[in-house]
């Protein structure tokens, strides 16, 4: 009786050792980039347009528009470039996710603080960031 337990455990251990590490990612945030001197005014507009309350953040260049926990986060960001909307993909392994996206044809543009700005093969810019609202759960995509 004792040996089957050891054999099963050893087999499971060997299978775990052969399984490549996985990382997770998911759509995290839509960011409304605003080239403006008045972020509060931009926040009021988007709040009224989308029916979402404005919540201040600890970073003075961002405002958070309240979203439900299961929804992507919605941010208004003060930027020096032309106004546009971009998305953030959050990952528990930023570098692994960037490499996965590069294999799909994306390119690295620049590293900022703790995230990568990337460009899709079709020209859209997006960011790969650390998890924004806690650990990624089973609703995130799992990648080898």
Write out pLDDT tens, residues 11-47: 565 555 566 679 999 999 999 999 999 999 999 999 9
pLDDT above 60 (res 7):
no
SS3 63: strand
- What secondary structure letter does DSSP report for 71? S
Q: Which residues contact 70 (CB under 8 A, 6 or more apart)?
A: 139
- What secondary structure letter does DSSP report for 20? P
Work out the pLDDT band at 62, boundaries 50, 70, 90.
very high
Q: What domains are defined for the chain?
A: 22-136 (3.10.180.10)
Q: What is the pLDDT of residues 87-121, one digit of tens each?
A: 999 999 999 999 999 999 999 999 999 999 999 99
How distant, in Å, are the alpha carbons of 13, 62, 92, 100, 122 from that of 74?
42, 10, 20, 25, 23
SS3 64: strand
Mean pLDDT of 125-142: 93
SS3 137: coil
SS3 68: coil
Q: Which residues pair with 25 in a beta bridge?
A: 91, 141
Quickly list DSSP for 73-134: EEEEEE-SS--EEEEEEEESSHHHHHHHHHHTT-EEEEEETTEEEEE-TTS-EEEEES-SSS
Q: Which residues pair with 27 in a beta bridge?
A: 89
């Amino acid at each position: 009786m004792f040996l089957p337990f050891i054999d099963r455990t050893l087999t499971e251990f060997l299978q775990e050792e052969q399984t490549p590490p996985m990382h997770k990612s998911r759509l995290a945030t839509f960011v409304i980039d605003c080239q403006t001197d008045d972020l509060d005014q931009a926040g009021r507009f988007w709040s009224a347009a989308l029916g979402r309350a404005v919540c201040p953040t600890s970073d003075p260049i961002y405002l958070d528009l309240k979203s439900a926990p299961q929804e992507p986060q919605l941010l208004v960001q003060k930027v020096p470039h032309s106004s546009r909307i971009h998305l953030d993909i959050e990952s528990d392994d930023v570098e692994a996710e960037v490499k996965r996206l590069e294999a799909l044809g994306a390119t690295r543009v620049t590293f900022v603080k703790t995230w990568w700005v990337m460009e899709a093969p079709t020209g859209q810019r997006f960011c790969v960031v650390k998890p924004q609202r806690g650990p990624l759960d089973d609703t995130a995509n799992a990648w080898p």
